[in-house]
Amino acid sequence: MEFLNWYNTPPLISSVLLFILGFFVFSKNKKSVSNLLFFVICVATVFWQFSFFILFSIHNSVLADFFVRTCYSGIVLLPPFFFHFVYLFVGRTGKTSKSFDRYLIYIIYLVSLFFEIILFSSNYFINSYRIYSWGFYPSAGTIHPVFVFILTLTILRMIYVLYVEMKNTKKLSDYRYHQLKYFFLALLFFILSSLDFLPNYGISLFYPLGFLFILIFLIIIAYAIASYRLMDIKFVLRSSSVYLTSLVLTLVPAIFLKYLFDSFFPQYSYWIDSLIVIFSISVFPFFKDRIYRFANKYLFSSLYDTKTVIKELSNKLGSTLETGTIYQTVTDILAGALHMKAVSFLTCGVKSKDVQILFNSGLKVPAGLKSELACKVIFGTYAGIGKMILLDELRNKPGRQDKAIAKVLTEAGVEILVPLTVNDKSVGIIALGPKESGDTYNNEDIDLLKIVGTQTAISLENALLYEETKKFNVKLTKEVERATHELKQANDELKTLDRAKSDFISIASHQLRTPLTVIKGYGSMMLEGSFGKMPAPIEENMRKIYDSNERLINLVEDLLNVSRIESGRLQFNFEMGQLDEMISSVVEELTPNAIHKGLSLKFNKPKKTLPPTKMDKTKLRQVVINLIDNAIKYTEKGGIIIDLAQEGEKLKFCVTDTGMGIKPDEISNLFKKFSRGVETSILHTEGTGLGLYVGKMMMEAHGGKIWAESDGEGKGSRFCFEIPVVNSVANAKVIIANPKR
């Protein structure tokens, strides 16, 4: 401690720091002239400051005479070096008169050389030394003011050049502008150190404060390098440097205190040492924390542009709805900006309550990370409520659980956990490993991660909703398939039932007809006399049996037809045929019935041959039989007239009787199922009313219509139908079966 004192320490510190900074800048790019020049500026300044250190330390006048010159040998070189540096620094985009400045550089170098020579060969520049309270100090010679004058001119030129450059670059790029700004500021402080010239002229200050300004210069330059890549140095402060700085900041006051107390209270040395140690230990974390925050805010810098990263992320996330793609995209973009070693997307299981890995790129996953505790702490305490977790912060939390998780995260190599929350709902977290460079995550990174977290969360939420919708669709499709299957089964069962019903109708009709056929056949043969002539009363009764049997056959026919109509199974066997022939045969068949009842039955055949028409002969015959039989049935005296004629494109058939007639209000009900005229039910109970209903169905199937007319009760009635004539070949082809093959 004898060696150092209050006066010689500051120049020593600035010398050391200057040299370190200069060498650092130089070492970052040895090929760059700018960096070399900066180094040289530092070295020249070191000459100045280190000579001061020696001058303030020695008492030997011979040495003092040498070191005042050594000191100035450095100072003299500063104007050309600085000017040259500014020239190069500005040069890339410089718009000022370049050739002028280039000449100026040569001139200034020459002037400096001239002063160097004078400095060491005569006393015109530096006239030995002066002695101040702080030690030896250079004394200004006769031409010293000339140097100061030239220096002033150089400084003014530099300021002008920098100012112009700053004005020009302001719009171009933020970084460049900041670089210039900080260099400019640093330069101004450096210039202030020229206050040190005053003691040269015997104007005594409290102390040559130049070193103070040089230190400020150093700090500004260092800051510009760290924050704005001054001289293209991509230097990012690491947490280790924060640690070191904190250590220095704790140790220096500690040593100073020890020194102070030792000199005043040597007798309490042991106690004081102990107190200092306790003090240092308790103060260290505080310093570290503060410096870290400060460094984080002002010094640590990123090499990406936040806006660009966010824009890219937005663009890419905007075009996907697949969670897998989202994880990959975010990972790629973060890796591009932050260059971290690992990225992982984690979430807390809904049922299992442990951490689940959604996506992993490079993260080790220790068992502890998957635990329920991790889930609880990470999601419950922090990420769930949108709080970002920095491992460094977590380590310093007092909670036992926090410590445990911090340990797990350290083991997993997680540095930072970014929450993914949308509307206070957590969709997971992004776990980031350390950066490849070993740098810490700075404030800019954290701001970026916050935005990335929000955007990713929104995208993931959308993707999850989309997936849910897709899943729901799949579920829905399955459900529909199941229902369809059930319906199909039911339908198959119904079809089987239907077939059974149809078979039943078919069999029933067959079975019912068999005995009727026997009665009809033998009856007809007996009446025809096939078994010999019968006595009149027997024959008459036999006819009654026969007639009733005929009704029964028709009734069975009607019933079966109704049943088929109801089940939609009524099939038609359309073929081309002559309606008049069919009617003739029916009339022929029914004439005996009419005669027997004492009625006349007259068929007015059309005068000219009718065109053939498309019809189901059996079904149509059934209708005709029904209508004529009804007429016979409901007529007590008089007769029945049957008309058939072509009317335009239609064939019209009518049965007119002189029977009981129909009330006008009953006509509309006649063709409904199970409906009869009120009077008919009194007179004839055997009718079911099915005949007209079936007739209506048959007519509709033939594209025709059926209707009834009556002038009223007791005034007879007329039943008619009409069907369209078909004479075109195209329509004839519709024939389904042709029995006359």
Partner 1 sequence: MTKKICIVEDEVNIAEMYKVLFEQEGYEVRVAHDGEAGLKLITEYKPDLVLLDIIMPKMDGFEVLKKLHCRRLNDQMMICVLSNLDQRQDMEKVYDLGAKQYFVKSHITPRNLLTRLDRMMAFAN
- Which residues would be at the binding site for partner 1 (CB under 8 A)? 506, 509-510, 513-514, 516-518, 520-522, 524-525, 528, 530, 553, 556, 571-573, 618, 736-737, 739, 741
Phi, psi angle pair for 135, to nearest 5°: 140, -165
In the complex with partner 1, the residue whose CB is nearer, 16 or 508, is: 508
The upper half-sphere exposure of residue 393, i.e. CA atoms within 13 Å in the direction of its Cβ, equals: 9
In the complex with partner 1, the residue whose CB is nearer, 177 or 546, is: 546
Pull the structure tokens for residue 442: 């700075």
- Residues 64 and 55 sit within 8 Å (Cβ to Cβ): yes
DSSP string, 645-712: EEETTEEEEEEEE-SS---HHHHTTTTSTT---HHHHHH--S--SHHHHHHHHHHHHTT-EEEEEESS
CB of 641 to partner 1, least distance (A): 25
Length of the chain: 741
Query: Which residues, in sequence order, are CB contacts of 709 under 8 Å at separation 6+?
Result: 667, 717, 718, 719, 720
In the complex with partner 1, the residue whose CB is nearer, 476 or 734, is: 734
By DSSP bridging, strand 343-348 and strand 425-432 are antiparallel
CB of 539 to partner 1, least distance (A): 16
CB of 574 to partner 1, least distance (A): 9
In the complex with partner 1, the residue whose CB is nearer, 124 or 522, is: 522
In the complex with partner 1, the residue whose CB is nearer, 239 or 524, is: 524
- Residues 231 and 221 sit within 8 Å (Cβ to Cβ): no
CB of 525 to partner 1, least distance (A): 6
- Residues 431 and 453 sit within 8 Å (Cβ to Cβ): no
Phi, psi angle pair for 408, to nearest 5°: -60, -45
CB of 519 to partner 1, least distance (A): 9
CB of 661 to partner 1, least distance (A): 31
In the complex with partner 1, the residue whose CB is nearer, 437 or 530, is: 530
In the complex with partner 1, the residue whose CB is nearer, 5 or 571, is: 571
Task: Give the separation between CA 558 and CA 621, rounded to whole angstroms.
Answer: 12
In the complex with partner 1, the residue whose CB is nearer, 365 or 527, is: 527
Alpha-carbon Rg for the chain, nearest whole angstrom, is 60
CB of 322 to partner 1, least distance (A): 58
In the complex with partner 1, the residue whose CB is nearer, 402 or 558, is: 558
CB of 588 to partner 1, least distance (A): 10
The upper half-sphere exposure of residue 429, i.e. CA atoms within 13 Å in the direction of its Cβ, equals: 32
In the complex with partner 1, the residue whose CB is nearer, 288 or 564, is: 564
- Residues 415 and 433 sit within 8 Å (Cβ to Cβ): yes
CB of 644 to partner 1, least distance (A): 21
CB of 705 to partner 1, least distance (A): 23
What is the sign, positive or negative, of the torsion defined by CA atoms of 227, 231, 234, 240? negative
3-state secondary structure string, 188-251?
HHHHHHHHHHHHHHCCCCCCCCHHHHHHHHHHHHHHHHHHHCHHHCCCCCCHHHHHHHHHHHHH
In the complex with partner 1, the residue whose CB is nearer, 130 or 614, is: 614
Largest interatomic CA distance in the chain: 184
Task: Give the separation between CA 545 and CA 552, rounded to whole angstroms.
Answer: 10
Query: Which residues, in sequence order, are CB contacts of 416 under 8 Å at separation 6+?
Result: 388, 389, 390, 391, 431, 432, 441, 446, 449
In the complex with partner 1, the residue whose CB is nearer, 84 or 619, is: 619
CB of 508 to partner 1, least distance (A): 11
For the packed helices 690-701 and 536-566, what is the interaxial angle rounded to 10 degrees? Answer: 50
3-class DSSP assignment, residue 79? helix
- Residues 624 and 663 sit within 8 Å (Cβ to Cβ): no
DSSP bridge pairs for 348 = 355
Task: Give the separation between CA 170 and CA 175, rounded to whole angstroms.
Answer: 9
In the complex with partner 1, the residue whose CB is nearer, 196 or 558, is: 558
Q: Nearest to residue 183, comparing CAs of 211, 158, 153?
A: 158
CB of 565 to partner 1, least distance (A): 14
In the complex with partner 1, the residue whose CB is nearer, 488 or 569, is: 569
Helices then strands, counting H and E runs in the chain, come out as 22, 14
CB of 603 to partner 1, least distance (A): 18
- Residues 150 and 75 sit within 8 Å (Cβ to Cβ): no
Task: Give the separation between CA 468 and CA 478, rounded to whole angstroms.
Answer: 15
In the complex with partner 1, the residue whose CB is nearer, 269 or 571, is: 571
- Residues 14 and 56 sit within 8 Å (Cβ to Cβ): no
CB of 518 to partner 1, least distance (A): 5
CB of 509 to partner 1, least distance (A): 7
In the complex with partner 1, the residue whose CB is nearer, 32 or 573, is: 573
In the complex with partner 1, the residue whose CB is nearer, 501 or 705, is: 501
Task: Give the separation between CA 155 and CA 157, rounded to whole angstroms.
Answer: 5
CB of 608 to partner 1, least distance (A): 26
The residue whose two tokens read 């008309």 is 643
CB of 619 to partner 1, least distance (A): 10
What is the sign, positive or negative, of the torsion defined by CA atoms of 298, 302, 306, 310? negative
CB of 556 to partner 1, least distance (A): 8
In the complex with partner 1, the residue whose CB is nearer, 263 or 738, is: 738
Q: Nearest to residue 716, comparing CAs of 657, 641, 638?
A: 657
